[in-house]
Amino acid sequence: MESGALDSTTVLVLNGPNLNLLGEREPEIYGRETLADVHAMCLDACTRARLTLEFRQSNHEGVLIDWIQEGRRGIAGLILNGAGYTHTSVAMRDALSAVEVPKVEVHISDIHAREEFRHFSYLTDVTDFQIIGRGVRGYVEAIEWVAAQRD
């Protein structure tokens, strides 16, 4: 996964807890694609849009918050799949509220059609666009949305 300097062409894609288990964990909900497959899809989408990709995953809330703060300005956009932290992290919400670039909330599954506790997102009111329930293709749609904001 990339680890270059973040600049005005960078799309920062952040993945929260357990997304490292894509393809293994509950494939009937999340599909068979792995996080490596998602990374490849995102890289292709960024290449088509003439953007660079910084793709990261962590199971640790504080690490995700540090990365959100790192991308708060000067990049093309920030895409976040907060996974389980979507429903619990006021701290991640507060970090996103300081982000001055286009930001997209992505969820592979339809969080509104799942368990009641997943229906609420702390991230929705501090992101500019949401893609929910479109499978891993939602990441590509998020990159395309970020690219359209630059036009």
Per-residue tens of pLDDT for the chain, all 151 residues: 445 689 999 999 999 999 999 998 876 777 789 999 999 999 999 999 999 999 999 999 999 999 999 999 999 999 999 998 998 899 999 999 999 999 999 999 888 777 686 666 879 999 999 999 999 999 999 999 999 999 7
**Active-site residue list:** 30, 107
CA 36 vs. chain centroid, Å, equals 14
94 annotated as ligand-binding: yes
Which residues contact residue 14 at a Cβ distance below 8 angstroms, ignoring those fewer than 6 apart? 56, 57, 58, 64, 67, 68, 71, 78, 79, 80, 81
Assigned domain for 77 exists: yes
20 annotated as ligand-binding: no
68 annotated as ligand-binding: no
Assigned domain for 5 exists: no
Strands of 37-84 (E only): list them.
52-57, 77-81
In the chain, how many domains are there? 1
Query: Tell me, what CATH number does 73's domain have?
Result: 3.40.50.9100
Domain that holds residue 119: 10-150
